[in-house]
Amino acid sequence: MFCVYVLYSGKYDKIYIGYTSNLEARLLSHNKLGNKGWTIKYRPWELIHSESFETKKDAMTREKELKSYRGRVWIRQLITGL
């Protein structure tokens, strides 16, 4: 099982979109354990959306959709509704 997720950093108004096979571990990495990469600069991250998929290919396809212009517009609308 794979999960596509959207993180939001309210402090910096940043969005991060990714996929993983272990969402709990990935969130912990983004918020505490990771010591390199883009996301460590914009902590703390809040999980605002996630979707589950049977295959990695399906998850990667959805991740790409969310990273498109239309996907980011949808995510911004999701954030303003929080």
- pLDDT tens, position by position, 8-23: 999 999 999 999 999 9
pLDDT band at 82 (very low <50, low <70, confident <90, very high): low
Locate 76 and state its tokens: 């911004």
Closest listed residue to residue 5, CA positions, set 13, 82, 15, 79: 15
Domain 2-80 grouped into CATH 3.40.1440 = yes
pLDDT in tens, 29-77: 999 998 899 999 999 999 999 999 999 999 999 999 999 999 999 999 9
